[in-house]
A = this chain, B = another copy of it.
Amino acid sequence: MTTTYNDKQIQIIESAETLFAEKGFNGTSVRDIAEKANVNLAMISYYFGSKDKLLEALFSYRGEYLKITLENMMGDGTMSSMDKMNTVIDHYIDKVMKQQCFSRIMMREQVLNHTGFTAKLIFEMKKRNQELISRLIHDGQRKGEFRKNIDIPLMMATLIGTANTIVATQHYYREINNLQTLSDEDFQKHMKKKLSQHLKKLFKAILTHEE
């Protein structure tokens, strides 16, 4: 099922990713991509058929991430549900930060009235995540760790919305907190830690505090 891409194709996909993140899908021309990827213009059609199909390829290239490790963890009897949730949070943050470009693209694309392949893919990712989280939460509720009446979609929106917003506007965050002196790497670490603490705190409040 999972397509594998050769070096040239990956080169193209990753160049496209950067550009789509910077200028949007429609704002990026196939010419731009060819130039950035250092390949012949026609090669993009040759390999992917069309610009749309290239976007699809990008989604299947990036879409696989995350799944497996989390699903393994779910059955672990030694971890508390809250620990599991915190692991999920860290995994999600990790993903968003590792795939910043792709996250931007997804964030943008999900807002449009898409009907195509990507819309379906985004929907499926969402659903899969939703199901994972639901199971986790219901487990926690059964064990008495989590309170009843949790609005999962809202909770997810907080996870996704907060992480993506802060990453998308990280230069504001850096400026406001006077972190320009930090190296890029250190800043990323710093932001990641802060974001992790913040979201864990929020989730604790959502999952355990009585009204």
Residue numbers of A with Cβ under 8 A of B are 21-27, 104, 107-108, 110-113, 123, 126, 130, 151-155, 157-158, 160-166, 168-169, 172-173, 176-177, 194-195, 198, 201-202, 204-206, 209, 211
In the assembled complex, the CB of A4 is this many whole angstroms from the nearest CB of chain B, namely 23
Contacts of A168 in B (CB 8 A): 110-111
Contact B151 A162 (CB under 8 A): no
Tallying the copies of this chain within the complex gives: 4
In the complex formed, the residue of B with least CB distance to A165 is B161
Contacts of A164 in B (CB 8 A): 161, 165
**Complex CA distance for A195 and B154, rounded to whole angstroms:** 7
* Interface-centre pick from A126, A165, A172, A176 (highest chain B CB count, 10 A): A165
Contact B194 A201 (CB under 8 A): no
Contact A154 B198 (CB under 8 A): yes
A202 and B194 in contact, given A160-B161, A161-B165 (Cβ under 8 angstroms): no
A22 and B112 in contact, given A126-B172, A161-B161 (Cβ under 8 angstroms): yes
**Complex CA distance for A26 and B20, rounded to whole angstroms:** 12
A201 and B206 in contact, given A27-B112, A158-B161 (Cβ under 8 angstroms): yes
A166 and B195 in contact, given A27-B112, A108-B108, A161-B160 (Cβ under 8 angstroms): no
**Complex CA distance for A195 and B204, rounded to whole angstroms:** 18
In the complex formed, the residue of B with least CB distance to A160 is B165
In the assembled complex, the CB of A87 is this many whole angstroms from the nearest CB of chain B, namely 20
**Complex CA distance for A114 and B94, rounded to whole angstroms:** 26
**Complex CA distance for A191 and B138, rounded to whole angstroms:** 23
Contacts of A166 in B (CB 8 A): 153-154, 157, 161
Contacts of A126 in B (CB 8 A): 169, 172
Contacts of A204 in B (CB 8 A): 205
Contact B165 A157 (CB under 8 A): yes
Contact B198 A209 (CB under 8 A): no
